[in-house]
Structure 1
Amino acid sequence: MGSWNDFNDAQSNTNLIPKGTLAKVRLTIRPGGFDDAAQGWTGGYATRGSTGAVYLNGEFTVTEGQYARRKIFTLIGLYSPKGPDWANMGRSLVRGMLNSARGISDKDQSPQAQSARRISGLKDLDGIEFLARIDVGTDASGDDKNEIRSAVTPDHRDYAQNMGLTPSFAGQPAAAAVQQTAAAPQPSAGVPGRPSWAQ
């Protein structure tokens, strides 16, 4: 234990989750009261900032593991008067969140996968649980802070383990995964006691 006169060897109080950590999170949207029905922004979920930018004020809570109950605050861009980049990053993040939450490979272009990437409104994102890759950015004061910029989809080798799924389902087309989950596995003649899909 260090001296109570010299604090050079005391740990820094950064309290950051390490960059690159994978964690299952739940998104809570902090409503900003801004609606634009023409854009599909209804229900008061969007926030309009003083610059004219529109975003979702996201509070992501880690649901399990070493960092359970930790909160990460990240804005999801919907519109910026400076150009399309921020909105495109927001759309990309939401696509990843939907793929991750609904168990869809990013490469899956089946009708079922395309349907699963559609939402009826921003309310569908409030409460969504997915696997996130934790990043480190800077806040307005220039201090380090955790952010969420990307979601981890079934294409990633650690997806199934972190989402608590059976590894054999990860990365399959959405229809196959749903079909296999719904059907009780039956042992086959090939290997006694093993379901046919596991051989």
Structure 2
Amino acid sequence: MTGAWNDYNDAESQNSFDLIPKGTIVPVRMTLKPGGYDDPSQGWTGGYATRNETTGSVYLNAEFVILEGAHARRKVWSLIGLLSLKGPEWGNMGRSFVRGILNSARGLSDKDNSPQAQAARRINGFADLDGIEFLAKIDVGKDANGDAKNEIRFAVTPDTKDWKAFQENGGIWRPAGGAPTASSASAAAAPASQPAANPGRPAWAQ
């Protein structure tokens, strides 16, 4: 029950979180905060994009929730660039990040150019990215006041040493619908009394 509005002695103490170390590999769920900006000519529909009225830049406002491990339930916020009036670099970086997210979420090597992989890298709209789960690398940037803050700007894909290290260090996440990883394969060898793994769901959700 919420305490009296004028007496805060029984309120819970604030939680103080240290920065997650740069380079930490974590499975995350990404959700998009709708900004209400659409540009059908670019394929930006559904109100997911946000436009900065001062600079004219357009981006996706993303929240990442860590799904497992020592930092489970922690949240990280980052922007995914779509358009900058200064040039194409920011938008290109955003496209590269989304490609990495799709590769990670769907268990694809970045070098896989098979028809199936190419189809898996296509989305019908930003709604397909809202709620997607993937393996991410934590970075440290600066907020508007110049203070350090955690960010996510890189998705870890199956063809990287970070992906292999995460699995070898006991991580249990795997891409939805993907082939079992080393850690999930060992889980499959567990006693038969445990429910069989559902390959369409990440291991933490079994």
TM-score w.r.t. the length of structure 1 is: 0.76
- 2:37 is aligned with what amino acid? F
> Which one-letter code corresponds to 2:182 in the other structure?
P
- 2:58 maps to 1:54: yes
Instruction: Identify the residue that residue 80 of structure 1 maps to in structure 2.
Output: 84
Query: Following TM superposition, by how much is the alpha carbon of 1:103 offset from its aligned partner in structure 2, in angstroms?
Result: 0.2
Q: Distance between the aligned counterparts of 2:23 and 2:162, measured in 1? A: 12
> Aligned equivalents of 1:22 and 1:158: distance in 2?
7
How far does residue 15 in structure 1 lie from its aligned partner after superposition? 1.2
Counterparts of 1:185-196 in structure 2 under 5 Å? none
Q: Within 2, Cα distance between the matches of 1:54 and 1:100?
A: 24
2:11 alignment counterpart: none
Distance 1:54 1:91, change over 3 A: same
C-alpha distance in structure 2 between counterparts of 1:56 and 1:168, whole Å = 33
Alignment match, 1:159:
163
Residue in 2 that maps onto 1:134: 138
User: Secondary structure at the residue paired with 1:136?
Assistant: strand
Question: CA RMSD, aligned part only?
Answer: 2.1
User: For 1:119, what is the secondary structure of its paired residue?
Assistant: coil
Match of 2:112 in 1: 108
Can you give the 5+ residue segments of structure 1 that lack an aligned partner in the other structure?
Answer: 1-12, 170-180, 183-199
CA distance, structure 1, for counterparts of residue 140 and residue 30 of structure 2: 18
User: Which residue number in structure 1 is paired with residue 129 of structure 2?
Assistant: 125
Aligned amino acid, residue 156 of structure 2: V
Matched length: 160
Structure 2 counterpart SS, 1:150: strand
Question: What is the CA distance between 1:14 and its match in structure 2?
Answer: 6.4
- TM-score after normalising by structure 2: 0.73
Greater C-alpha radius of gyration: 1
Q: Deviations over 1:131-174 (max 9, x none)?
A: 000000011100000011100000124526242442399xxxxx
Match of 1:99 among 103, 110, 116: 103
Distance 1:69 1:168 in 2: 22
The residue type equivalent to 2:86 in the other structure is: K
Counterpart of 2:68, as a letter, is E
Equivalent runs, 1:22-41 vs 2, <5 Å: 22-41=25-44
Identical aligned residues as a percent: 67
Q: 1:1-31: CA deviations, max 9, x gaps?
A: xxxxxxxxxxxx6610000000000001000
Structure 1 residue corresponding to 2:20, chosen from 4, 17, 33: 17
Deviating above 3 A after TM superposition, structure 1's stretches of 4 or more consecutive aligned residues are none
